[in-house]
Amino acid sequence: MSRGPEKVGNTTRGIAYEEPLLFERSRPGRRGFALPPLDVPEVEPEALLGAEACRETIPDLPEVSEVDVVRHFTRLSTWNAAVDLGLYPLGSCTMKYNPRQNEAAAALPGFAGAHPLAPASLSQGILQLMAELERHLAEISGLDRVSLQPAAGAQGELAGIMMIRAYHRHRGESRDRVLIPDSAHGTNPASAALNGYRVQTLESGPDGLLHPETVAAAMGPDVAALMITNPNTLGLFETHIEPICEIVHTGGGLVYGDGANLNALLGIARPGDLGIDVMHFNLHKTFSTPHGGGGPGAGPVGVKNILAPYLPVPVVRELAGDEGEGFVLDYDFPHSIGRLHAHHGNVGMMIRAWAYIRSLGAEGLRRCAEMAVLNANYLLSRLRGTYHVPYEGRVMHECVLSDRLLQGTGVTTLDVAKRLIDYGYHPPTIYFPLVVQGAIMIEPTESESLEGLDRFAEAMLAVAEEARTDPERVRAAPTRTRLARLDETRAARRPVLRWQPAGPSKRP
């Protein structure tokens, strides 16, 4: 069981290897290309583009060869933790495997080469795909309409809350309070506050769930909405969701469902059926489009029909009857909250999500959720007793542990996370959710095999054992990485600037 990485050998320890910036590798005149001699008359750029489009100086770009660039980025890429290298248990982030066939679909020349300014008549393929993806997401969530525009979950939340505000204003109601349980994702209060709402935090019960009495006590004629993350950030399904939605609706409010954690519900429960009026999807989580360290994501927002008039424009619409056949972008939504993204949104993510949904089908999506939930519960059962479990019971797609049982060893959640890097794992989410002191939040996703889960569980158990027998080793981690533990507090105070740009050079 104890497979301490030091036993494998210490050849990578202590390497002081620095990768210079491309700017530092720059040598005047070095090029990554060779062009044949000019055989047409030379034209001044100003003559071609107009003087206002040309600048006097050119940016100071590195002058490097192709092999310099390829080696630089290939070396950097080997420093990264990636889901393609191993389990990436970053709770709440759903770091599932990104199937390669989705990449192939997004790279099809007809999609990859499509121009966002091409007219609808020349963009029928992508518009049809968008219309189909909207329908699939509506079906999966039990909602009526979907807009694919938002570029991330947080922007989907912003869109949803803006629609809620537009809805109340349109009805002549001035409601300015939003209720948010303490187990919600941090983006929820931020989205509400950005829209000018007062946020009231609701306490979850000792079982980690939100209780109808709590919501009833907080309701009032000024409440615009309840924002609820389900499953919540403790990984627990909010079992009282139906009566809770009823209480909010009776009081004239709407319910925003944070759907970023839809991975646990796919094909099993539909938020719309449970009473949710509006929610966002995270295509980059549940629907396998790559994310983390460089997006782009996509956070479509789905609504019940009562909110459809406020959807962001444009909306993809299938022509019907006398209009003929095909798809158009429809801007005719007088009550729309407006536009949220240039052009069609992050289309590459939509293609990948469409491919994912279509390749798995209804059965496959359901199986994803079942396996994701099974995997989280399996890890929980292997780690319970060694790590403290703050809320008992079955979890959904992720489980939350804490460092309470390590008290007295001097080892904390942060040390455990850093030590896991030495074992080859990206650390779990730590110190979140805030309602658990020293939280360690693990989301294995459905991508992992039983052997993969066992290897990770054994690493976690080995770290706990080390905390008792050799706590200094855990506190010194990571030791097998390019850089040792960063002093994150100092780094924040004193940023290290290694490269000082020279002044702008004249265009040659």
For 350, list phi and psi in degrees, rounded to 5. Answer: -65, -40
Tell me if 297 contacts ligand PLP by CB under 6 A. yes
Tell me if 178 contacts ligand PLP by CB under 6 A. no
Tell me if 302 contacts ligand PLP by CB under 6 A. no
Contact region with ligand PLP (CB under 6 A), list: 52-60, 148-156, 247-255, 488-496: 148-156
Interface residue with ligand PLP, options 81, 92, 327, 429 (CB under 6 A)? 92
Q: Which residues pair with 147 in a beta bridge?
A: 301
Cα separation, 25 vs 66, whole angstroms: 12
CB-nearer residue toward ligand PLP: 349 or 360: 349
CA 153 from chain center: how many Å? 7
Strands 177-181 and 198-202: parallel
CB-nearer residue toward ligand PLP: 261 or 336: 261
Length of the chain equals 508
Tell me if 282 contacts ligand PLP by CB under 6 A. yes
Interface residue with ligand PLP, options 64, 83, 143, 154 (CB under 6 A)? 154
Interface residue with ligand PLP, options 5, 153, 257, 444 (CB under 6 A)? 153
Show the site string, 213-242: x = touches ligand PLP by CB under 6 A, - = not: ----------------x-------------
Contact region with ligand PLP (CB under 6 A), list: 146-154, 361-369, 397-405, 430-438: 146-154
Please, what is the minimum distance in Å from the beta carbon of residue 283 to ligand PLP?
9
Contact region with ligand PLP (CB under 6 A), list: 174-182, 254-262, 331-339, 402-410: 254-262
Contact region with ligand PLP (CB under 6 A), list: 129-137, 151-159, 383-391, 460-468: 151-159
Tell me if 446 contacts ligand PLP by CB under 6 A. no
Burial class of residue 208 (count of CB atoms within 10 Å of its CB; 0-12, 13-18, 19+): buried
Region 256-275 residues binding ligand PLP, contact defined as CB under 6 A: 258, 260-261
Tell me if 191 contacts ligand PLP by CB under 6 A. no
Please, what is the minimum distance in Å from the beta carbon of residue 102 to ligand PLP?
18
Cα separation, 345 vs 312, whole angstroms: 11
Tell me if 181 contacts ligand PLP by CB under 6 A. no
Binding residues for ligand PLP, how many (CB under 6 A)?
Answer: 13
Sorted by sequence, the CB contacts under 8 Å of residue 115 that are 6+ apart come out as none
Q: Which structure tokens are listed for 127?
A: 């518009």
Please, what is the minimum distance in Å from the beta carbon of residue 2 to ligand PLP?
34
Tell me if 244 contacts ligand PLP by CB under 6 A. no
Burial 128-138 (b: 16+ CB within 10 A, else e): ebbbbbbebbb
CB-nearer residue toward ligand PLP: 154 or 395: 154
Tell me if 289 contacts ligand PLP by CB under 6 A. no
Please, what is the minimum distance in Å from the beta carbon of residue 264 to ligand PLP?
11
Helix (H) or strand (E) holding 229: strand 223-229
393: left (phi over 0), alpha (psi -120 to 50) or beta: left
Helix (H) or strand (E) holding 209: none
Do 181 and 433 meet the contact criterion of CB atoms below 8 Å apart?
Answer: no
Map 71-96 to HEC letters: HHHHHHHCCCCCCCCCCCCECCCCCC
Do 286 and 257 meet the contact criterion of CB atoms below 8 Å apart?
Answer: no
Strands 429-430 and 439-442: antiparallel
Interface residue with ligand PLP, options 141, 183, 187, 286 (CB under 6 A)? 187
By three-state DSSP, how is residue 340 classified? coil
Contact region with ligand PLP (CB under 6 A), list: 25-33, 147-155, 446-454, 461-469: 147-155
- Output the residue with the shortest Cβ distance to ligand PLP: 153
Number of other CB atoms surrounding residue 477 within 10 Å:
25
Tell me if 336 contacts ligand PLP by CB under 6 A. no
CA torsion sign for 376, 285, 87, 371 is: positive
Do 443 and 91 meet the contact criterion of CB atoms below 8 Å apart?
Answer: yes
Q: Which structure tokens are listed for 390?
A: 């703050």
Please, what is the minimum distance in Å from the beta carbon of residue 373 to ligand PLP?
16
Contact region with ligand PLP (CB under 6 A), list: 149-157, 167-175, 379-387, 436-444: 149-157
Tell me if 299 contacts ligand PLP by CB under 6 A. yes
Residues that bind ligand PLP (CB under 6 A): 92, 152-154, 185, 187, 229, 258, 260-261, 282, 297, 299
